[in-house]
Structure 1
Amino acid sequence: MNNKIIVTVLILFTAAYCEAAQLEKLTSSLRVWLNNQQRVPEHFSIKNGALVANKSLFSGGEIHFKEKGNTCISYAPHRYFDKHTLQIAKALFSECQVLLTNTKHRNSRDADGKIIDFSKYKNSSSNAFILAYSSSVKSFSIYQIHGFAKEKRTTEQGRKADIILSEGHVFASKRTLDIAQCLINKLGINALVYGRDVHELGGTHNVLNSLAPVNSQFFHIELSRELREQLIINNQLLKQFSLCLTS
């Protein structure tokens, strides 16, 4: 191995080590906050009852937590890009203890030039909170809400879908199959399961595929634009959507 290769390896190792250390520090501070919410973590302020990242935290992010509710996380990682997903995630938060969302556009960059897309960006406040939360509950679910346009899909199945559900890979658990069936029965929509009914928008490159704690179950939920528009004007439909996910 020549000197150039050695230097490159050392640089990559150092960068990975620093990133891991930063994530662990942020996770630790959020773990303390979960135990004592009077101790506001560094880089955050309390606004309307939520933890909101200050400018000093490159990733940004907003964290809502309440003591009561199902042990689940409602998560809108692209609030500015996937229209209405934050409003839908807020409705789901009525069933869950946690709501996570971004405060910077998905195409923003950090100090190292990395794109701050919360579905792919490892060193984020959302990931840190998920790791912190995992140590406070026995088990939990993560419902990550996305949006898609039917006309941009590359397959006939994708163009006909109202929802595409996955767990970030091609194998669906019984829980995912049950959620899809509930959505079909209760909402009368075309809910497809990635790997079984459709082979696009499966969240296979999502950071939570590798980062989600072992006591969690990650659900990647893609909603068509048409369905998002229906959900935000129909409270009964939105409530039933939330119940299908969490019941």
Structure 2
Amino acid sequence: MNYKIIVTVLMFFTAASCEATQLEELTSSLQNWLNDQQRVPEHFSFSNGVLVANKSLLSGGEIHFKAKGNTCISYAPHRYFDKHTLTIAKALFSECQVLLTNTKHRNSRDAYGKLIDFGKYKNSSSNAFILAYSSTVESFSIYQIHGFAKEKRTTEQGRKADIILSEGHVFASKRTLNIAQCLNNTLGINALVYGRDVHELGGTHNVLNSLAPVNSQFFHIELSRELREQLITNNQLLKQFSLCLIS
């Protein structure tokens, strides 16, 4: 019997069990906070409607919430890596109730050696809040904002894209198609739909593909560097971008 293999397997299942428990506990504490914002959750500080994870929460994270607004979540999971995505997500937050973002770089690791990449990391404050929020609303949308470089794309379609929209898989709903049409018509850009117009950057490995609640709709939004720079310098363009998403 190979005891090293047994020990490795046991360590894996122990870590997975601990992570699941931590996510459940964090979700529960955030549900309590949504019901009573005087009850600041453990591992967070709270000021002016913003929860910020302290050092005791390995995943880190920042949660903005307001009582009024559309039932949607604006989400910048890579604020340090995908330049300007947090600024763009904050603009979208003017329409939504929630803004989520990371406070640790995507190349940081937790106590188990796992990368704290909020696009893939299950045991995060953002995921816990999404699960908690789902119990307070009938339905909601999650708009996850990413950035890409055209010159790094592997297909001609990808190199020509300004935006690549998906729902984390190759099948696009009518709503995604409508968003793409709105962006193309009103912004005068090249917004492509993953699975129909382009076959890269579809968010197919994103953790929300399996974790997003059944009463939510997940939109994976990739923005080219050129478009991100245009959006942050043109308020009218940024406003129209937001309106196309939530319409």
TM-score computed with the length of structure 2 as normaliser: 0.97
Measure, in 2, the Cα distance between the counterparts of 1:60 and 1:8.
27
Maintained 8 Å contact 2:44/2:53: yes
Q: Aligned to 1:244, what secondary structure does the other structure show?
A: helix
Specify the alignment match of 1:193 in structure 2.
193
User: Structure 1: which amino acid aligns with 2:230?
Assistant: Q
Matches within 5 A, 1:209-220: 209-220=209-220
| 1:120 to 2:120 alignment | yes
- Structure 1 segments, 4+ long, off by >6 Å, are none
Maintained 8 Å contact 2:130/2:212: yes
Matches within 5 A, 1:135-214: 135-214=135-214
Specify the alignment match of 1:30 in structure 2.
30
Q: Aligned to 1:230, what secondary structure does the other structure show?
A: helix
Specify the alignment match of 1:63 in structure 2.
63
Q: Aligned to 2:198, what secondary structure does the other structure show?
A: coil
Deviation at 1:146, TM superposition (A): 0.2
Q: Aligned to 1:133, what secondary structure does the other structure show?
A: helix
Deviation at 1:179, TM superposition (A): 0.3
User: Structure 1: which amino acid aligns with 2:240?
Assistant: Q
User: Structure 1: which amino acid aligns with 2:57?
Assistant: L
Specify the alignment match of 1:16 in structure 2.
16
Measure, in 2, the Cα distance between the counterparts of 1:231 and 1:7.
51
Higher deviation after alignment, 134-143 or 47-56: 47-56
Q: Aligned to 2:52, what secondary structure does the other structure show?
A: strand
User: Structure 1: which amino acid aligns with 2:191?
Assistant: A
Cα 1:10–1:113 change in 2 (3 A) is closer
Maintained 8 Å contact 2:49/2:66: no
Q: How many residues align?
A: 247
Specify the alignment match of 1:49 in structure 2.
49
Deviation at 1:8, TM superposition (A): 4.0
Specify the alignment match of 1:87 in structure 2.
87
Matches within 5 A, 1:230-245: 230-245=230-245
- Cα RMSD (Å) of the superposition? 1.2
User: Structure 1: which amino acid aligns with 2:195?
Assistant: G
Q: Aligned to 2:196, what secondary structure does the other structure show?
A: coil
Deviation at 1:5, TM superposition (A): 5.0
Measure, in 2, the Cα distance between the counterparts of 1:188 and 1:56.
46
Q: Percent identity?
A: 90
Q: Aligned to 1:30, what secondary structure does the other structure show?
A: helix
Deviation at 1:109, TM superposition (A): 1.0
Deviation at 1:6, TM superposition (A): 4.7
Measure, in 2, the Cα distance between the counterparts of 1:52 and 1:209.
25
User: Structure 2: which amino acid aligns with 1:198?
Assistant: V
Measure, in 1, the Cα distance between the counterparts of 2:224 and 2:202.
14
Measure, in 1, the Cα distance between the counterparts of 2:7 and 2:102.
35
Deviation at 1:18, TM superposition (A): 1.0
Give 5+ residue unaligned stretches, structure 1.
none
Measure, in 2, the Cα distance between the counterparts of 1:83 and 1:142.
20
Measure, in 2, the Cα distance between the counterparts of 1:63 and 1:78.
14
Maintained 8 Å contact 2:60/2:104: yes
Q: Aligned to 1:19, what secondary structure does the other structure show?
A: helix
